[in-house]
Amino acid sequence: MPNKGKVLRIIDANTNRAVEGLRVVEEICRFILEDKKFSAEIKKLRGKLRKIVKEPGKLLKARRANEDPGRKLYTKNEGKRDKLEDIFAANMKRAQEAVRCLEEFSKLLNPKHGKRFKKVRFQLYELEKRIALRLTRYSLLDFGLYVVTDPLRDHLEVAQKALAAGVKAIQLRDKTASKRQYFELARKISRLAKKHGVTFIVNDYPDIARRVDAAGVHLGQEDLAKLPIIKARKIMGQGKIIGVSTHSLAQAVKAEKAGADYISCGPIFKTPSKPQGKPLGVNVLRKVLQSVKLPVVAIGGIDPANVEKIKKTGCQRFAVIRAVLGHRNFRRAIKTLLCA
């Protein structure tokens, strides 16, 4: 067996690497995803690692941080993180690799520990998958202005102009098209959205959304009676987003509990798109924002004249139909809303 002090140094270094990597992942889950379940799972795993090691005094005594050859190594990749997913992936891999080292070297001191570390390692593999899918859904909601198409104007033309103007999300909505026509429209817009790297959402049909590989599906209240969110999720898969239309505080809270990734809230103002819908007003929007943690998209009658009222509530996302589709200069209307 190698020098026991050197083995303890390896165990000390990798315990620290594993726990530190998991702490970074925990912060992502706690403060960015705001997911209590994931945060609790990671915290429990960190505690389990510390419990298996059990000899902090001996590890500290063996530590030689100033003599560690890796102390001054800093690769090009270490100094660059382009997105949140990169931080997550790097730290989860760091934790997994460290636990593998713990699994192997601990066998030299206590063979029983190897089996315990192996169990933790496989828990990390499964946890990585679940959090990665959740992060994918989170990144798909990284938009502000969200344009909803309508038969009022050609869907593909609307999508092309909206994307050229800088819109980060498009939703296909057409209550008059046949399902075949709807699929063809969705397929074309999905290709366009992928080319621009933006979020594309299909209204009403999760099966079509899946077939065209859209980012998600949006369901109305009437859709939920036939197709609950849990069933839509089975069709769409875990890496896609599901949005729900809500018209009251109660519906917003219910949608969150049912597992929606985001909700639309409206109509906020009077709109010809929903002539029978009584405007909720910004006060209801504010209450919804205070009551749910998931992203909220304000919708209904929003235009350059009132968009500032939406932003004052703290709402970061808003959808438009008439304000853009009914405007002669489509691109200018979008630019005005984006700059408001």
Binding residue ranges for Mg(2+): 204, 223
User: d(Cα 241, Cα 255) in Å, to the nearest integer?
Assistant: 13
Both tokens assigned to 265: 């809230």
Give residue 309's Cα distance to chain centre.
26
Both tokens assigned to 147: 């344009």
- 176 secondary structure, DSSP code: S
User: d(Cα 320, Cα 337) in Å, to the nearest integer?
Assistant: 9
Q: Where are the beta strands (DSSP E) in 149-230?
A: 169-172, 199-203, 216-219
Place of tokens 């104007």: 153
User: d(Cα 109, Cα 75) in Å, to the nearest integer?
Assistant: 32
Neighbouring residues of 263: CB distance < 8 A, sequence distance ≥ 6: 243, 244, 245, 246, 252, 255, 256, 288, 292, 294, 295, 296, 297
List own/partner pairs for 221-224 with CB under 8 A and 24 or more apart. Answer: 221/245, 221/246, 221/247, 221/251, 224/258
User: d(Cα 108, Cα 3) in Å, to the nearest integer?
Assistant: 11
User: d(Cα 59, Cα 43) in Å, to the nearest integer?
Assistant: 22
As annotated, the binding site includes 171-175, 203-204, 223, 245, 271-274, 301
User: d(Cα 221, Cα 199) in Å, to the nearest integer?
Assistant: 22
